[in-house]
Amino acid sequence: MPDPTSSTPTENSTDPAKVTGPFYIMSKIGNSNWVLSARPNNRLQITPADFRPEQLWTRVESQGGGSFHLINLSNNKALKQSGFKNELTLVDFNRGDNSQKWRTGQWGEWFGIAALNDPNQLVNVAGYSWNENNAVVLWEFSRADFNELWKAVTDFGQFSLTNINYDLSRLVVDNSLQPVNCVAVEVNTMNGLPSRDSLELQRQFTTSTRFTYSESTNKILAITNKIGAKLIWKDFLEVGEEVTMTGQTSTTVTFGKEDAIVETTSDKVTHSVDVPAGRRIKFWVVVKNGKINVPYTATIRRTDGPRIQDTQVSGQYERINATSYEIRQQDLVTGEQKVVSSASVKAAAAA
């Protein structure tokens, strides 16, 4: 058999050094469901694949290229070799540490993971029967035996949001947000005749939705985001001028992100004006906004063939939306300002 680092992966292979997805599972050869996993004490073991963070790894290119580091998702530790026949460990990531650097060689869809310092030493599961007590060691190349070949698995099944519940007893409503002043239009009759016209005034509504999540659940949400699982829903909770909660339908968003999803809608409203001669009057629209913040709990379901795994997540839901708008006018000579028209809105889409 060739040197484990000598063969070239095919273009569409699942070589862990070539995987395009951000995370993958290193799986043992054959029809086995055992995968490489991190132990709490920074040692390695194999465990049945069930989507736990300690089973997920990401590849980081080494300095200068030609090799890579394997970083565990659960603790951000790097896979390290400690010499021939010794158990592998997890240590703090160090790009300059050659003992944390790996190369691969390919046999069909399977790969050997070889130490950069000695490419004839491969990641190996000790023994030929499998359980969680098997040591994960560095061992000499053994003709591509099944206990030294791995497969990168990137298909984690389908994800869905099965339910979401809000604790309205802990709802906080804030209608004291700063109003938004839209573009003003000026009518000047200082040196002319009175003006009667219908002005088109710009309105701009901005809504913002954000789900934050607790420290205890951020790992599962980080995983689903980074592997592209779309957990979407459509029913928003809106805050209105009278501080009431209503169900609205809006565009779908990705669930589980701490970044606010912002949607802005601009349109125009017609306002009839009658400005006497010798006046300078400014007209504009002011949009008022409200914000709600309420704790939630939700269930994310992962379906992989016959297997179903439910994960409970919790956090804070925040929603900002327009509650009302006013048309204001100001006499630019006297400075007098007043509201000439107002209306309530439920959300930007309803304006």
Q: Is the pLDDT of residue 83 over 70?
A: yes
Over range 249-259, report the average pLDDT.
55
pLDDT value for 304: 76
Whether the Cβ atoms of residue 293 and residue 167 lie closer than 8 Å to each other: no
pLDDT value for 281: 96
Over range 213-235, report the average pLDDT.
66
pLDDT value for 8: 30
Instruction: State the alpha helices, DSSP H only, in the chain.
Output: 218-226
Residue 86 token pair: 């010794």
The span from the CA of 244 to the CA of 316, in Å, is 19
The span from the CA of 63 to the CA of 69, in Å, is 10
Residues 152-179: b if buried by 16+ CB within 10 A, e if exposed: bbeebeebebeebebeeeebeeebeeee
The span from the CA of 151 to the CA of 162, in Å, is 31
Residue 270 token pair: 């017609």
What share of the chain has pLDDT > 70, as a percent? 78
Residue 25 token pair: 């599972």
Lowest mean pLDDT among 180-184, 192-196, 237-241, 267-271: 237-241
Q: Is the pLDDT of residue 332 over 90?
A: yes
Residue 340 token pair: 């000439």
278-305 per-position pLDDT tens digit: 999 999 999 999 999 999 888 888 787 7
Q: Is the pLDDT of residue 258 over 80?
A: no
Helices (H) and strands (E) in the chain, counts: 1, 23
pLDDT higher for 51 or 127? 127
Lowest mean pLDDT among 60-64, 178-182, 252-256: 252-256
Tell me the whole-structure pTM to 2 decimals.
0.64
Any idea what the Cα angle at residue 37 is, between residues 34 and 39, rounded to 5°?
130
Residue 16 token pair: 């862990």
87-138 per-position pLDDT tens digit: 999 999 999 999 999 998 777 778 889 999 888 899 988 887 778 888 899 9
Q: Are strands 68-72 and 150-153 parallel, antiparallel or unpaired?
A: unpaired
User: Quick one: DSSP state of residue 66?
Assistant: S
> Smallest Cα–Cα separation from 46: which of 87, 5, 102?
87
164-221 per-position pLDDT tens digit: 888 889 999 998 899 999 999 999 999 889 999 999 999 999 888 888 877 767 666 6
pLDDT value for 199: 94
The span from the CA of 34 to the CA of 16, in Å, is 17
Average pLDDT of every residue of the chain = 80
Phi, psi of 175 (to 5 degrees): -105, 20
pLDDT value for 117: 84
Any idea what the Cα angle at residue 325 is, between residues 319 and 328, rounded to 5°?
145
pLDDT value for 273: 94
26-35 per-position pLDDT tens digit: 666 556 788 8
> Smallest Cα–Cα separation from 273: which of 334, 324, 327, 343?
327
User: Quick one: DSSP state of residue 279?
Assistant: -
Over range 62-78, report the average pLDDT.
87
**Residue type (1 letter), 40:** P
100: helix, strand or coil: helix
pLDDT value for 23: 55
Whether the Cβ atoms of residue 315 and residue 212 lie closer than 8 Å to each other: yes
Q: Is the pLDDT of residue 349 over 60?
A: no
Q: Is the pLDDT of residue 146 over 50?
A: yes
Domains, the chain, ordered by start: 25-153 (2.80.10.50), 158-350 (2.170.15.10)
Half-sphere exposure of 133 (CA within 13 A, CB side): 1
Any idea what the Cα angle at residue 127 is, between residues 121 and 131, rounded to 5°?
120
Phi, psi of 116 (to 5 degrees): -65, -40
